[in-house]
Amino acid sequence: MKKIVIFALGLAVIFFFLVWTPDTLISTTQQPEIIAPQENCTVIMVGKKASTDGSTMTTHAADCGICDWTWHYVPRAKHRPGEMRKIYRISQIKTWPPEQGSKWENIKKDFTGVAIPEVPETFGYMHGVFGYMNDQQLAIGESTIGNRPKMSNPTSTPALNITMLTLLAMERCRTAREAIKLMGSLAEKYGYGGEDGGEMLAVADPDEVWVFEIFPVGPLWNPQSGKPGAIWCAQRLPDDQVSVCPNESRIGEIDLSNPDYFLASSNAISYAIENGFWDPKSGQPFSWKKAYCPAAGSAASDPRRARMWRFFDLVSPSSKFSPSLPNVDFPFGVKPDHLISVKEVMNLLRDKGYGTFFDPTRGIHGGPYKNPNYDFSARLISVRQAEYTTVTQCRGWLPSPIGGLVWIAWGAQDTSCFMPFYAGVKALPGSFSVGDHWVLNRNSARWAFDYVDFHTQVAYSVAIEEVKKAQQKWEDGAINQIPEIDQKAINIYKKSPEKASQYLTAFCLNNADQVIKAWWQLGDDLLVKFNHLGYYNSERRTIERRKMEFPDLWKKAVKFIDTILE
């Protein structure tokens, strides 16, 4: 009996080590009634005067874990008078077995019955789950934010969802304002909802970055009602600020008399009054997020909401934001302590919260190899289940085909590599459009990065250093090469825009091909180098006789358990 008691106490101690957080983290907060997202996407936004090179930047971490990851290029197209553009229901989540064809073939079987007039010419663009950039330097990133339950409209009546809206914006719009007005007006006319609820889009062009938020208006709406089929609002990020959307509404008080910074549907405020979400007699100013998406909690009260605090603390440590500050009270944006580079944005997307009280490797959480992916107590910016991550750059001093850049990283951010694709490319690698989660496919780009990620997890603390070396060679190498590619492309563009696009396409395809091959090789190398948890030197064909160093706390915990079990 004595041994059983001691063993139970020992387990309690180990449990303490595994789940311990400072006192500030153990309070709880009453959550308001809201259909919350599954914490699946993070968006970072950078205004042009907050970046090191004058570009606007947006990001999207597609953190679904089971979604279709394929990427596609849609070329420009001319349309005859009278042609119609069919509207399809496009699920963010659903995938089909490869033998049934691609997702983008199967969606054509789910025609909504609504078609809108085509425009004379649609722009070329790149898309994955959403549209990300077109050849006019219009860029988009997405984050699901949720909504009040009575606002949801899961019926088939609404013709539009968030994916379809982004594709239409890519096809038809040059600027962020144009995209916002188009998406908003179409959603009002044809209805928004279905599988999608509250959504946020970071919509950018070379001059501006906007936060666009949209909600359904309930299951009783129909086109004959004469009322808008969606409610939406957009707020412009000041040029010298940065911001983040971690699956939470970011728009607070709005000033619709200032169209330079606010755009909205006609029912933006009236809908809240009609549904009892805000009382104008309350003496409280109208707050968009408190009315429609009132997410409660802070990093301190709910570690699943740690991303908001972590981002602002990283970009503006001088502001000394407290983790106890409710997320709803964080500012819309903030001036960063220093200008932000594209590389720093990539690093932000890889952040694991090291050194904070959310550190996933604190104590023995990360195991003997200090693996940050073992701990799920806090939701950090970087997660292990990402399909892919994007960083867009819009650079107004260059022609649009050269000025726009989408950096794509497949799989988990910490073990992947960002690869550049110019807005003017005419094709994407064939390996970007194949593969799924359930069958390893060596013709799929994504699987090369999952292959490396899997072998990194086994001995993370040592394997990740090999990954960082590869990232420095290929990712940093591409970043450093971009100015040279820009200049060559400009020289060609002056004589022939078409040949400039061909040059950029060749560069991007070749770079991606080299990176993908390098990652397949890296996966092989990791398997060999750390096989049997040893250090194998393939050049000397020897195993190095040195031990992997483990944290002292881990060794003490193991010794403590051994003592109990004796």
What pLDDT does residue 3 have?
Answer: 47
**Interacting residues of 239 by C-beta distance below 8 A, sequence separation 6+:** 47, 48, 49, 50, 208
> 5 pLDDT exceeds 50?
no
| CB-CB neighbours of 520 under 10 Å | 17
198 contacts 144 by C-beta, under 8 angstroms: yes
Whether 3 is in a domain gets the answer no
Q: In angstroms, rounded to a whole number, what is the distance separating the alpha carbons of residues 483 and 487?
A: 6
Work out the percent of the chain whose per-residue pLDDT is above 90.
79
Q: What is the chain's mean pLDDT, rounded?
A: 91
What's the Cα-to-Cα distance from 124 to each of 213, 214, 366, 400, 402, rounded to whole Å?
25, 25, 45, 12, 14
How does residue 478 score in pLDDT terms, banded at 50, 70 and 90? very high
Q: In angstroms, rounded to a whole number, what is the distance separating the alpha carbons of residues 213 and 77?
A: 29
pLDDT in tens, 189-232: 999 999 999 999 999 999 999 999 999 999 999 999 999 999 99
- What total of structural domains would you count in the chain? 1
Whether 218 is in a domain gets the answer yes
The β-bridge relationship of strands 111-117 and 43-46 is: unpaired
In this structure, what are the phi and psi dihedrals at residue 164, rounded to the nearest 5 degrees? Answer: -60, -40
What pLDDT does residue 364 have?
Answer: 87
Q: Which structural domain range is residue 105 located in? A: 23-523
Q: What is the mean pLDDT of residues 349-370?
A: 91
pLDDT in tens, 483-518: 999 999 999 999 999 999 999 999 999 999 999 999
- Helix ranges restricted to H, 159-286: 162-172, 176-190, 270-274
How does residue 537 score in pLDDT terms, banded at 50, 70 and 90? confident
pLDDT in tens, 278-335: 999 999 999 999 999 998 899 999 998 999 999 999 999 999 999 999 999 999 999 9
Whether 325 is in a domain gets the answer yes
Dig out the tokens for 127 from the structure: 């898309």
Whether 482 is in a domain gets the answer yes
| CB-CB neighbours of 39 under 10 Å | 17
Q: What is the mean pLDDT of residues 538-553?
A: 71
What pLDDT does residue 496 have?
Answer: 98
Q: In angstroms, rounded to a whole number, what is the distance separating the alpha carbons of residues 457 and 384?
A: 10
What pLDDT does residue 277 have?
Answer: 97
- Determine the 3-state secondary structure of 535 from DSSP: strand
Whether 8 is in a domain gets the answer no
Whether 413 is in a domain gets the answer yes
Q: What is the mean pLDDT of residues 123-148?
A: 97
Whether 562 is in a domain gets the answer no
pLDDT in tens, 21-76: 333 332 333 445 666 555 678 999 999 999 999 999 999 999 888 889 999 999 99
What pLDDT does residue 8 have?
Answer: 45
241 contacts 177 by C-beta, under 8 angstroms: no
pTM of the model: 0.92
Whether 17 is in a domain gets the answer no
**Interacting residues of 505 by C-beta distance below 8 A, sequence separation 6+:** 422, 424, 425, 426, 427
pLDDT in tens, 420-445: 999 999 999 999 999 999 999 999 99
